[in-house]
Structure 1
Amino acid sequence: MVGAMTNEEYQNLLEKITALEKENKRLKDELANKNEDLYIDLFEEAIDGIVFWQENGKVVKANLSAAKIFECSQNELIGKRLFDFVYEKNEKYYQITKELYRTGAIRDELLFLMPNGQKKLLEFTAKINRNGLNIMILRNVTERFKMERKLRESEQKFRKIFDGSFEGIILWNEDFQIVDVNQTGVKMLGLSKKDIVGQSLKTLLSEFNAKKENLKEYMKKLEKDGQITGTLSIKLDETKQKHFEFSTKSNLISGLNLSVFRDITEKLEMEEQLRKSDTLHVIGELAAGIAHEIRNPMTALKGFIQLLQGSIKEDHSMYFHVISTELQRMDSIINEFLILAKPQAVKYVECDLQKIVRETVELLNAQAVLHNVQFKTNYEKDLPLLFCEPNQLKKVFINIIKNAIEVMPNGGIITVSVKKTDDNKLHISVEDQGPGMSEEKIKKLGEPFFTTKERGTGLGLMVSYKIIEEHNGIIEVQSKEGIGTTFHIYLPINKGSEE
């Protein structure tokens, strides 16, 4: 059994406990002093401004950074009402103060007016302490605001230039994904912006039937040189082909590539028309001379052949027939030359186009039967009268339908239709079941001396194009090899001036 503690032992224990309490208090005071020093260091050395303020808004303590922000000394700042520095007490200010006192804390931005008259945009975090001082931490974000504003202005300028450009612009990344496209580009491609942005550039061009070999060549050159220029032909639909001139620069900004393109379809068509016009002019001058020089001996030949007709023996009748036929063919070629050589004196009158087409089909029906060709006609009822020169149009229809018969040596069906379009034009189409033509051949149709027939001169179609052009109309050709060809003729219904 443990004995009772003696006085001496008890006294020693009390001394030890007292010593431990003193040591504990010393350690606590030392820690408190260290925390106080740490707090002061953090408060004074903080990069952000720190302000303690009372409920009435008066500043009771502020660090050096806060004094620098407010362009005054720490002593000058103490005692000032914090919210008196706010430049404009507008709706936003009252919303902020209301939210602060409702929730006890808020983070926002306000424009402050410094004592020296300088304006600064300050970002702040404020906290209400119900049992003590309130605190606000401030940061000067004026420069950031200016930079953001400049960035926004720069972006707005870029957007205005981007969207207002007369040329199409596409931005695409390293994965060929289209990031943005301007309104001009959207209009040129005939799609919505939603259908373009996010799609692969390769897929888009593939859908437009761009030639893969051309794309591969352009991509190799872009990878090698960093930029390329060129031309590209695409099909927006089965009938409409467009030609674009483009320039592309890779890695323009942060992995984005820039492609600028413009529609040169009209330019190329105009150049082609000028080329054909120049060719027509040269041929016209040549034809005028040739026709007159040949017509005189031709007249003599035809006259003597007619005189000899009665004395031709039956054995030589075949030769006589060949000579007569070839003379007629030469006469026909000369007449076509003369049509190209000089303007024809024609008078435009109101005519029933359906009647002209029907008469042409009936005229060529006998030739069609010989080639085992049948006509299928489709004439829309109650068509308006057309202001035209009927004999010239009949010549066009004869040329086109006759060509359709001759390209089907094994027979087939020719479909002829006449109807009115929504844009106030008469549309005549002649569709055959011949071998068809390539795109290269279609482009050459109407050129002097270009023909797909063994004994053709190419003048028939050339004359036809000229006649339709003089009627302010157009000829379009659709063809698929192995399927057939369709000629579309569009003539405006509105009256023109007599020529």
Structure 2
Amino acid sequence: MSTLDGEGDQQLVQLELEETLREQQGMTFRFYKTGGKFIHTYCTGRLLLKLGLTPEEVVGRELIEFYPAQIAIRKETFYARAWEGEENVTYEGEIGGVSYLASLRPIRVSGKIVEVVASCVDITERKRAEEELRATKELLDSLFRNSADGICVTDTAGKVIRANAAYLNMYGWTEEELVGRELPIYPDYLKHELGVICTMLEAGNHIVNQQAVRQRKDGELLHVCITISPIKDAAGIVIALAGITRDISEQKKAEDFLQKADKLNVVGQLAAGLAHEIRNPLTTLRGLLQLMHSSGSGKLEYYDILISELDRINSMVSELILIAKPHVTSLRTQDLAVIVLNVINLLESQAAISNVQIVFESEGALPFIKCSEVEIKQVFINLLKNAIEAMPNGGAIRVVASAQPHQHVRIRIIDQGDGIREEQIRRLGGAVLYDKGKGDRTRADDVL
């Protein structure tokens, strides 16, 4: 190969290198120091154009000639460090909304620094992402600190990592008392709930607006609404749990008040029917007493009638008192047939006023069930009142009780009213059932 051919190859390589540097997304430049000034000897790359500069504006000039003084002075400090021999000097810069990272490296010849070469990369997108991340973090921190709802973050073992002020105030603990220990907010009879919740969340499930009972530091029980979500790492593994808690104790008190008010309303309506029903045996008692007084002698059969009528009055009044008075829920083994018959007896007078007849049918022997007598009676009262109101022109109500497998009991309350319109069924999540043989309709809201 001739010398001429070798020089041509070198020139070709040089041209290719120049093209590569010119088309790079970043920027490469060189400078040296002379007369106390840093003069640029080379500069190329697409980043240079993004910064609003050209090679002609940079090469042969110092920083102050094409950068604002404040920026030029700052960058010269890094230039000086590299010129003095420091390896890998880096700095970030930003001009016209374009951010970049520069890395400076001194070039030595025979141990003497003759030039510094710099490589720059465009980090505009990275800086934008960092800014968005910072803004998001600040927003989340603000929501965490200022949320009216209690927020608590725990590890998968249930130990507290962080809790906000609302959470601490809700339960009466300080952050120092909570962080690093398991949540002491579960009453003794609900200790098992923590394990169940952790298992559900580790499986990827969420708990949304679930009502629960929790315990304050002073032992007071709170009614709360909780939402808990798993926090996962990049591999999708659950590493922590985030819970939002809202105190609904006042809401529960309001609901209890409304329930009591509704119960009083029912009792008031029952009282109107009972007044008529009680008046009948009282009239019988009064008449018999007058007859005994006028005849001057007491007949044995009169006493039997008097006792029977008094027992009837006492039974009706006892049922009314049982429903009206405050009570603590108590689950006991009960004969459901007796409970249903007592409710029917209580409502017979109101049904008679509406020209409605209530018939009880039992399909076989019914097992005893464990329930709250007062509350189950309230359920039957509501259902039967609903059935009575559904038949303004009168009719018959069938209360059909049947035994089911596993010691269960099925109670159907079937009226002859119009039932629920089919277009409303989807909204109720029920279904209208027809007894084609008798033409009766089982109302979707009257099946227990």
Question: Normalising TM by the smaller chain, what interval?
Answer: 0.3 to 0.5
Rg larger for? 1
Q: Which has the higher strand share?
A: 2
TM-score relative to the length of structure 1: 0.42
